[in-house]
Amino acid sequence: MTLLMTSMESKTRSTINSSMKKINHICLTLLSILTFSTLLHADYKERMKERLPKIIEAKGSGLIGEGVDGFLHLRGKKGKTVVQLVAVENEDRKEFFKAASSKTGSTTQEVAQKFSQVMKSRDEKGFWQKDSKGSWNQK
C-alpha cells in the first residue's frame, strides 16, 4: 500500500512539474512578445522624435504642411529627401494611430484627426496647413 502511494505521489509530482514547465514556457513566451511589442512601439516613437527637427525645418521652408487627416503633405518643389522624410514620417504616424486607437477604443481616423488638430495648434506662425477641401492656408 505504501509503495502504491509513493508511486502515485511520484506520478502526481511528475505531472505537476510538467504542467509547471508548460506554464513557465507560456509565461516566458508572453513576456517576450510583450517586451518585443513594447520595443517596436518605442521604436516608431523614437524615430518620430528624432525626425522632428527636420520636419520643423521643412515646414518652415514651406515644403510640407499638416493635413486634416493627421499626415504630412508635400507642397511646392519635391526633392527626394523631403519626399522620403514625409513617407517615413507618415508610416510611423500610421503605426501611432493604430496603437492609440487600440488603447482608446477610437477609430484610427478619429485618432488621426485629433492628432492633426494638436499638430496644427503647435505649428509656428507661417507654417502651411491643408484644410478638408485641399486648400493650403498659412497659420
Rounded CA separation 139/97 (Å): 24
Contacts of residue 110, defined as CB under 8 A and 6 or more positions apart, other chains included, come to: 101
Number of domains in the chain: 1
Those residues with Cβ within 8 angstroms of residue 45's Cβ, 6 or more apart along the chain or in another chain: 96
Type and span of the H or E element at 6: helix 2-60
Mean pLDDT over residues 119-124, rounded?
A: 95
pLDDT digits (tens, 9 = 90+) for 64-95: 999 999 999 999 878 899 999 999 999 999 99
Judged on CB neighbours under 10 Å (0-12, 13-18, 19+), 80 is exposed
Say how many C-beta atoms besides its own lie within 10 A of residue 4's C-beta: 8
pLDDT tens figures, 5-53: 565 566 666 666 666 665 655 655 545 455 445 545 568 889 999 999 9
Q: Which domain holds residue 34?
A: 2-138
Q: Within a 10 A sphere around the Cβ of 70, how many other Cβ atoms?
A: 23
Q: What is the DSSP letter of 72?
A: E
